[in-house]
Structure 1
Amino acid sequence: MAFLAPLAIPLLAALLSFAAPCAFAQAEAPNLSAAKLAEEFSDPLTTLPQIFTQDAYTPVNYGTAAPTNRVILRLLVPRLPEYSLLPFVQLVRPSFSLVTVPTGRGGATQTAFGDMQLFDLAVIPWPGKESGLLMGVGPVFVFPTATARVAGQGAWQVGPAFGSVYKGLPGYLLGCLIQDPVSFAYTSRDRQPVGALLVQPIVLKHLGRGFYVKSADATWTINWRQGNSTTLPLSLGLGYVLLREGSPPFNFFVSGEWMAYRHDAPVAPHTTVRFGMTVAFPQWRPW
């Protein structure tokens, strides 16, 4: 059980984050439409409490004959200003992963828990919802919780994060999430410095009857600290929001990703297929 020790602080922070929203639980969930929920499930600044799960399978990779896989569990916890560190609405989002990665020996792989990520965005109250534009800023943290050397970066990281969303176009959601975690301490002396700019563009189009298409799962990566290696994947997916009386809203999606541009990245995904599900808890929204 010694491998759980690095998880103690991140897990404690995540559990404490749930305390405030749960205290505001209401008897019944607000009446939300499928279209509205589809936006909230993809909105990086949503205040809708939710649990997100995803399995990303990459059968073909550059630089290795081994397939890879990443299972993600992500929580989204909004916090009221009076219960936050700042006088703004805070969005706390811890992410945990179970990864299958190459071991460097032909097609051999190893499955282990990966590093934990946590970001905490403060939603800026201007220009405001009337303009259709919302923005959030805050820190992002990466904790070296990987249970195998090949499953993580072996570095404590912190850096800035920025999110924005625009809802001024009827039927569309446009947004982005930008993060830049930088390493400052390492689990061993032979670990390399880490510094990568991560950009996640978000485009969503409503189709009606709970269906939507999106390009929101790909993350562009520029490793500015290690030779400027760059990967720019593109994604396209289909999602469906399921609403049933007496049950929480569910979101199901499937998407494909293809590496559109790769520079100085010897090992990188070529094609990825994602399956995901999100369950929301509107009754826990703290306002």
Structure 2
Amino acid sequence: MAIPAASWAQADAERLATLAREFTDPLTTLPQLFLQDAYTPENHGTDAQTNRVVGRLIVPRIPRFTLLPFVQLVRPSLFLVTVPTGKGSATRTAFGDMQLFDLFVLPWPTAESGVRVGVGPIFVFPTATNKAAGQEAWQLGPALGAVYKAIPRLLLAGLVQSPIPFAYTSSEHSVRNVVTVQPAVLLQIVGGWYVKSADATWTFGWERGAPTILPLSLGVGHVTVREGWPPINVFASSEWTAYRHNAPTAPEVTVRLGVTVAFPEWRAW
């Protein structure tokens, strides 16, 4: 018996909506390779134009492959950054510090509620190849992710991290303790298209002299699914710093371009 074309179209729309949310969900169990370039033509406190390239893997582990009876999400991130060397236009390009978080998705609230919560550690390794590109400190702290997906086509999420330095590679260290919050709102609109505000990371200093920076972002993306090919997500977004305090140098305007490739067949690993 033939399946009506309308049913196929509805199934495709639902699949695209689900994938759009999976690509932005900080607690996704969809294995992914993420690449992003963030170009900042204007910075507060310097005439330099800066840039950051991010490479990230999202590696979910189902309970039979984890140490605990929870879904485990491992996310290593590598950075290639172009940073200012002073108040002028001169810059230096180097690898930045490596980050790794390891979240465990809690079994409560239940899946029927549309809410999921994950907790675990965040690690920062002092792998920067230049002093200006890293913080010269080993860091470890808590991380918390939360997602709400009970409304079709809509994703509300947030990721909170607080890496705390415990050992330094230089006696001239100047690391400030901060909490970072990455809120995410995504709405799938038509076909594979969606709009989102999910790329800005808020920084809150919780000790004297630590910086506070609050940017806002808005972007658009498209998810493409083709037979025999992995799903691909392409997005572009812009970001503007709405507030800053104790931050002599901070981005003013940033433009991001990114691509994510998913590997659904690896989900069961």
Unpaired segments ≥5 residues, structure 1: 1-30
1:167-212 CA-to-partner distances (Å, cap 9, x unmatched) read 1122210010000000000111111243110000000011111000
Q: Structure 1 residue runs of 4+, over 4 Å off?
A: none
Q: Do the aligned residues in 2 keep the contact of 1:97 with 1:113 (CA within 8 Å)?
A: yes
* Matched position secondary structure for 2:18: helix
Residue 67 (structure 1) aligns with: 49
Q: Is the 8 A contact 1:195 1:226 kept in 2?
A: no
> Who is 2:65 aligned against?
83
Name which of structure 1's ranges 35-44 and 104-113 shifts more when overlaid on structure 2.
Answer: 104-113
Q: 1:1-287, aligned counterparts within 5 Å?
A: 33-104=15-86, 106-286=88-268
Aligned residue number for residue 18 of structure 1: none
User: Any conservation in 1 of the 2:218–2:238 contact (CA below 8 Å)?
Assistant: yes
Deviations 1:226-252 (A, max 9, x none): 514211000000000011111000000
- When the two chains are superposed, the root-mean-square deviation of aligned CA atoms in Å is 1.3
SS in 1 for 2:19: helix
TM-score by structure 1 length?
Answer: 0.87
SS at match of 1:82: helix
- Does the 8 Å contact 1:205/1:214 carry over to 2? yes
**Contact 1:193-1:225 within 8 A present in 2 as well:** no
Q: Gapped runs of 5+ residues in structure 2?
A: 1-11
Code of the residue aligned with 2:223 in structure 1: it is V
Q: For residues 175 and 218 of structure 2, what CA distance do their matches in structure 1 show?
A: 32
Once the two structures are superposed, what CA deviation does each residue of 1:63-121 show, in whole Å capped at 9, x if it has no partner?
00001000000000011222212221100000000000001162100000000000000
Query: Normalised by the size of structure 2, how large is the TM-score?
Result: 0.93
Task: Summarize deviations over 1:13-71 as a string: whole Å, max 9, x none.
Answer: xxxxxxxxxxxxxxxxxx98111100000000000000000000000000000010000
The one-letter amino acid paired with 1:218 is A
Matched-pair contact (CA < 8 Å) for 2:181–2:202: yes
Q: Distance in 1 between matches of 2:234 and 2:110?
A: 30
